[in-house]
Structure 1
C-alpha cells in the first residue's frame, strides 16, 4: 500500500519556499476550492509532483478522476519552486501523489500549506544508495526508470485511487494490470537486445546518476558525472574518472539527460574516443508533439537509445 500521510518527512535536499510566497499562499488558499470537492464534470482531482507519474496515474485512472501535474513538461524537478498558483491547486486537490525518496526537495513545505492527503509511490521499492557527491548512503530517487520498479508504482497508484474512490476499484485494477503488461515489454526488449553486448562494454555512462535502477535491471555498470540534477557541474576528479573508465573499457557511447547541459559529457566523449548517444529522458515528459509525451514513450525511447549506443548503431 502507498504511504498516506498528512505531512511529508524532511529530506536531505529540502529547499525552502520564499517567505513572501508562503504569505501570499495563505491568502490565496483561503479562497480556493476546498479539497474533496468534485470538478464540474463530477470527477475528483488528483495532483502529482511531476509529469512522469501524472501519466502513469492517468493510465491507471482510466478517466475516472482528473489527473494533473504540478510541474510542466521539461521542468527540473529536484529544485522546483512552487508558485502561488501551485499552492492554490494543491488546496483544491483530493489527493497528491509524490515520488518520495527525497526527489521533490520542495514537497515537505508545500504540503504544510495544503490539506489534501498524499501518497508516496516509491513505497516498497528496494532502493539503491547513492555512492558519491556528498549524498553517500541516501537512496537514489529515480526508481521509476526501472520497468520492474514501475510495477510497484502502478500498484501504489491503483491502491491510492481505490482508497480515494472505492467504487472504481475494478476499473483501477484492470487498467493497472494492462498497463504493467505494456511496461514489461520494454524491459524484455532491453534485456534481449543487450544480450550480445560484450561484458567490458556493458556500461551506461550518463551525466546524472539517474539510471541506477535501470542499470541494475539490464546488468549494466553505471557511471555518471554527478549524482543528482541539483549539482551544477561535475567535479574535475569525477570527470577524469569517467573519461578513464570509458577509454579503458572501450565504451562505445555516453549519454546525457534532457534537463541538463551536456557540455562536460561531450568533452568526455571526445577525450575517450566514444560517441555521444541520443538524449535520454528521466525527470520529465515532453510536450505532446515531442519525443516522449508519455511514460511508455520515455521508457521505449531511452531503451532504444541505450541499445543503439552500446551496439554501435546510429546516434
Structure 2
C-alpha cells in the first residue's frame, strides 16, 4: 500500500512541475498617481499588473492637497508615477524633493489640445482636461506607453486594456452628445463652484458660470461675484451645482441672489469613495452628464 508520505511527495512534485511549466510573468508594478481620477484610468490600463496608489484620496481637492509623510513614502517606493500636469499638481515638486524620489513623473496630458483663459490679468492653461473623455483617450495612450516601457513583459496586456478602455471612452462621449444635443443651445447653461468644466463645455457646447477661477485656491472678489450675479440673471441660468471636493457656500450664496435652483452635486476633480455614485471615471462622467442634462431639461 502506498504510504501517505509518498502520496504527499508525489503531489508536491506535481505542483512544482506545474509551476515550472507556467510562463514567467513580471512582478506587479508599484504605481503612484496624483489624484483619484487619474489613478482609476491607470488601473484600467494596467489591470492586474499594477498596484496603484492615489496621493489625493476620494473627495479630495488636488489644488489644495497637503502631502503627508505617508505620501512621501509611497512616492519614493513607486516604480512609475503619473501626473496630469498643466499646473494641477503645484505641490508635486516639493513632494518629490521631500521624498527623495529619483524618477521623473509621466505627464499624461501631453498631446492634448488645451484651452486657456484670462485670470487676474494672466493667461492660464486649464488643467481640468479629464472632463472630456476625448482628452482621456490621450491619457490612455500615454499611460500605455509608460507602463509598457517599465514592464515590457506585459506590454501586450497593457495594449489590449488600453484599446478596450478607449472604446469605452468613445461610448461615454457618444452618450454625452446624445443627452446634450437634444437640449436647446440657450438652455445649456449652469452655475458651478469653480471653472473646472471648460473642456466639457467645449465638447458639448455647455456654458458653465462660476464665482471662482480654475483653482479652488483663488478667491472671488465682491465685484466679481456681483458681476456674475448680473450675468446669471440676464442669461436666465436656472440651475446651480456644487462639487464634492470643495466648499459650496459661495455658489449657494450666488444662487440665492439669482433664484437658481439646486441641481445636485457634481464630481469634478475627484472620485467618490466606493459607496458613492462616482467610484470610477466612467461612473463619474455618466453621473455628471445625467445630473446636468436633467437640470437643463427641467429649465427648458
Q: TM-score, normalised by structure 1?
A: 0.82
**Separation in 2 of the partners of 1:262 and 1:89?**
31
DSSP 3-state at the match of 1:85: helix
From 114, 132, 150, give the equivalent of 1:127: 114
Q: CA RMSD in A?
A: 1.7
Shift of 1:166: 1.2
**Separation in 2 of the partners of 1:68 and 1:302?**
24
* Matched residue, 1:308: 294
DSSP 3-state at the match of 2:155: helix
Larger Rg: 2
Structure 1 gaps of 5+ residues are 1-40
Shift of 1:232: 5.7
**What are the within-5 Å matches in structure 2 for residues 212-227 of structure 1?**
212-227=198-213
* Matched residue, 2:18: none
DSSP 3-state at the match of 2:49: coil
**Separation in 2 of the partners of 1:149 and 1:279?**
23
DSSP 3-state at the match of 1:279: strand
| Contact preservation (8 Å) 2:53, 2:74 | no
Does residue 76 of structure 2 align to residue 91 of structure 1?
A: yes
* Matched residue, 2:86: 101
Structure 2 gaps of 5+ residues are 1-25
Shift of 1:281: 0.8
* Matched residue, 1:58: 43
Deviations 1:243-279 (A, max 9, x none): 2222222222122211122122222223222211111
DSSP 3-state at the match of 1:225: coil
DSSP 3-state at the match of 1:149: helix
Shift of 1:131: 2.0
* Matched residue, 1:26: none
**Separation in 2 of the partners of 1:74 and 1:103?**
16
**Separation in 2 of the partners of 1:159 and 1:211?**
27
From 132, 148, 154, give the equivalent of 1:146: 132
**Separation in 2 of the partners of 1:71 and 1:273?**
35
From 229, 235, 247, give the equivalent of 1:243: 229
| Contact preservation (8 Å) 1:162, 1:169 | yes
* Matched residue, 1:30: none
| Contact preservation (8 Å) 1:251, 1:310 | no
**Separation in 2 of the partners of 1:281 and 1:192?**
20
Shift of 1:233: 4.1
| Contact preservation (8 Å) 2:179, 2:289 | no
Deviations 1:213-268 (A, max 9, x none): 00000012232111134436422222222222222222221222111221222222
**Separation in 1 of the partners of 2:167 and 2:69?**
39
From 49, 54, 61, give the equivalent of 1:69: 54
Does residue 94 of structure 2 align to residue 116 of structure 1?
A: no
Matched pairs, number: 272
| Contact preservation (8 Å) 1:186, 1:303 | no
**Structure with more of its chain in helix, by fraction:** 2
* Matched residue, 2:15: none
**Separation in 2 of the partners of 1:135 and 1:197?**
34
Deviations 1:82-116 (A, max 9, x none): 11121111111101100111101111122232113
**What are the within-5 Å matches in structure 2 for residues 239-278 of structure 1?**
239-278=225-264
**Separation in 1 of the partners of 2:248 and 2:65?**
20
